[in-house]
């Protein structure tokens, strides 16, 4: 079974940690960027992430695996395939055509759902996805992030009564 150390090794080999001047999705400025979009396009990294999360949820009785668009969808898909658990994809906003759904996939009232994300800073976008699941009858039991930047996301989740579980933190790089 892959380990956290193996995941860190893969992320370093694929140069996902970049130095420079960046603006993050939260609007914050940073002198580093974690390019998880690059990482999750690599099959070995994606497979390793899926195996690590699947091992963590093996005894949880999870009904669905969810990921907010865009970065988390490949991760949620990989976990869905590895764990044989149906997938939900959470849009940033309802589309104005077709079925106009915010959540793609079948969410039943009372479903136990885990939510996955690629990187968190403040956790705002992931909390928004979780609220969408909860407002549509889902029960979010756990939330996982591949890399936590350690800038407040875990505390923000605690205030909402949800445990955010990073596979690795930026300090572990």
- Ligand-binding annotation for 5, yes or no, is no
Give the list of residues 6+ apart from residue 159 with CB closer than 8 angstroms, or none.
none
- Ligand-binding annotation for 123, yes or no, is yes
- Ligand-binding annotation for 169, yes or no, is no
* CA–CA separation, 77 and 155 (whole Å): 27
> What tokens appear for 29 in the block?
């400025």
- Ligand-binding annotation for 95, yes or no, is yes
- Ligand-binding annotation for 120, yes or no, is yes
Q: Are β-strands 112-120 and 29-34 bridged in parallel, bridged antiparallel, or unpaired?
A: unpaired
- Ligand-binding annotation for 119, yes or no, is yes
- Ligand-binding annotation for 125, yes or no, is yes
- Ligand-binding annotation for 91, yes or no, is yes
Bridge partners of 15?
A: none
- Ligand-binding annotation for 122, yes or no, is yes
Annotated binding-site members for orotate: 121, 149
Annotated binding-site members: 91-92, 95, 117-125, 149
Annotated binding-site members for 5-phospho-alpha-D-ribose 1-diphosphate: 91-92, 95, 117-125
């Amino acid at each position: 079974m892959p380990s956290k150390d193996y995941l860190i090794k893969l992320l370093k080999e694929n140069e996902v940690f970049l130095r420079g001047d960046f603006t993050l999705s939260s609007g914050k400025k940073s002198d580093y960027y974690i390019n998880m979009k690059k990482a999750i396009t690599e099959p070995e990294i994606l497979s390793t992430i899926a195996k690590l999360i699947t091992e963590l949820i093996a005894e949880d009785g999870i009904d669905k695996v969810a990921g907010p668009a865009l970065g988390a969808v490949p991760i949620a898909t990989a976990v869905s395939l590895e764990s044989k658990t149906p997938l939900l994809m959470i849009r940033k906003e309802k589309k104005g055509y077709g079925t106009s759904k915010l959540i793609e996939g079948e969410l039943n009232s009372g479903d136990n759902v885990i939510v996955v994300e690629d990187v968190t800073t403040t956790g705002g976008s992931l909390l928004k996805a979780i609220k969408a699941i909860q407002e549509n009858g889902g029960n979010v039991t756990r939330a996982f992030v591949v890399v936590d930047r350690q800038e407040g996301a875990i505390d923000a989740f605690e205030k909402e009564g949800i445990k955010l579980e990073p596979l690795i933190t930026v300090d572990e790089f």
